[in-house]
Amino acid sequence: MKKIFITIVAALAVSVSMDAQIVKNNLMEGYAPLDVLEKNIYTAKDDPIAQYQWSAGYTSKPVEGAVSPKVAEGLSYEGYNEAGCSILLGSAFNDDVKGRRMSVYSLTESSKELRSGVLYLAFLVNFDRIGTKNMSPLAGFCSSYTGGGHRGTVYVKRDEQVKTNYYFGVRLIEETVESNMAFEMGQTNLVVLKIDYNASLASLFVNPDLSTAEPQPLVVANAGESTLKHAIRSVMIRDYHGYDGRIGNFRVTGNWESLAE
């Protein structure tokens, strides 16, 4: 009986930490402006995990000449309390290097922890430039701690007509849904990505009021006939030679209310 009671208590503790609290914050802890972001490089899918660190994500075709992004001054947004430095978008490339580079923050190597209910990723972003009129990946969740298996990704693209405006989108598995609401370059936006394992949905919120109940999302992507089976093991960003700006203040939670803590 004592053993059974201890097991139940332990299971409840895991449930509370997963569903009712902050799963991970302070992803930029220990950094200062001009620091190099990545402290590790994954050269194979099964490399040992560099837990709670930013690393270069594994890829079979790395962009030659691309380097780790640099760290910059932090961003702020009223009502959102996650502080710290930001990441300088576009800093992985110079004028002669083009492409994309994935940096990952490895959360866990377990395939059983973050794989049910809902999970939120919040961050701040401020763009000075987006050099593409096509939807381009920015940040999201991965099912591999080395960066593979995207499970909900925030996308952005520049407005073709008004090049100081841009749009957000969200992708889940094979479906990408674009928003028709324009945002201005040079402004800091609060972005929240929600993954719902029960409904197999990825929802995107931009500049929501965190002091109220969860609002209607800006856009929603549906996994369709696919289902969300694999656990979330990392947070990723995709730097791009066509980006100029900053991204940071990441927080991962198991419910909406914890975004405002």
Residue 70 lies in a domain: yes
Write the pLDDT tens digit of every residue in 154-204.
Answer: 999 999 999 999 999 999 988 899 999 999 999 999 999 999 999 999 999
The pLDDT of residue 45 is 93
Write the pLDDT tens digit of every residue in 192-208.
Answer: 999 999 999 999 999 99
Q: What are the beta bridge partners of residue 139?
A: 154, 237
Angstrom CA distances, 104 to 113, 155, 214, stand at 18, 16, 27
Rounded CA-CA distance 31/208 in Å is 28
Rounded CA-CA distance 103/37 in Å is 8
- For the chain, the maximum distance between any two Cα atoms, rounded to a whole number of angstroms, is 69
Cβ(248)–Cβ(86) below 8 Å: yes
Q: Phi, psi (5° rounding) for residue 212?
A: -115, 180
Residue 12 lies in a domain: no
Token digits of residue 95: 């004028």
143-156 burial: b if 16+ Cβ within 10 Å, else e: bbbbbbbbbbbbbb
Residue 11 lies in a domain: no
- One-letter amino acid at 113 equals E
- For residue 30, give the CATH number of its domain: 2.60.120.200
Rounded CA-CA distance 195/180 in Å is 21
57 — pLDDT class (breaks 50, 70, 90): very high
Token digits of residue 251: 């927080």
The pLDDT of residue 15 is 36
Residue 8 lies in a domain: no
Q: Which helix (H) or strand (E) holds 14?
A: helix 2-19
Q: Phi, psi (5° rounding) for residue 86?
A: -120, 175
Q: HSE (CB half, 13 Å, CA atoms) of 148?
A: 10
Cβ(123)–Cβ(135) below 8 Å: no
Q: Using a cut of 0.95, tell me whether the model's pTM lies above it.
A: no
Nearest alpha carbon to residue 72 among 41, 102, 28: 28
- One-letter amino acid at 90 equals G
Cβ(83)–Cβ(74) below 8 Å: yes
Q: What is the mean pLDDT of residues 217-241?
A: 89
Residue 6 lies in a domain: no
Residue 16 lies in a domain: no
Strongest mean pLDDT among 17-21, 58-62, 104-108: 104-108
The pLDDT of residue 172 is 92
Q: What is the mean pLDDT of residues 3-20?
A: 39
Residue 199 lies in a domain: yes
Q: Is the pLDDT of residue 11 over 60?
A: no
Q: Is the pLDDT of residue 223 over 50?
A: yes
6 — pLDDT class (breaks 50, 70, 90): very low
Q: Phi, psi (5° rounding) for residue 242?
A: -90, 5
Rounded CA-CA distance 56/109 in Å is 16
Query: Considering its fold, how many domains does the chain have in total?
Result: 1
The pLDDT of residue 188 is 98
Rounded CA-CA distance 257/7 in Å is 28
Cβ(36)–Cβ(90) below 8 Å: no
14 — pLDDT class (breaks 50, 70, 90): very low
Rounded CA-CA distance 257/261 in Å is 7
Residue 10 lies in a domain: no
Instruction: Kindly compute the dihedral angle of the four CA atoms of residues 111, 112, 115, 121, in this order, to the nearest 10 degrees.
Output: -70
Range of the domain at 226: 22-260
Write the pLDDT tens digit of every residue in 108-149.
Answer: 998 888 988 999 999 999 999 999 999 999 999 999 999 988
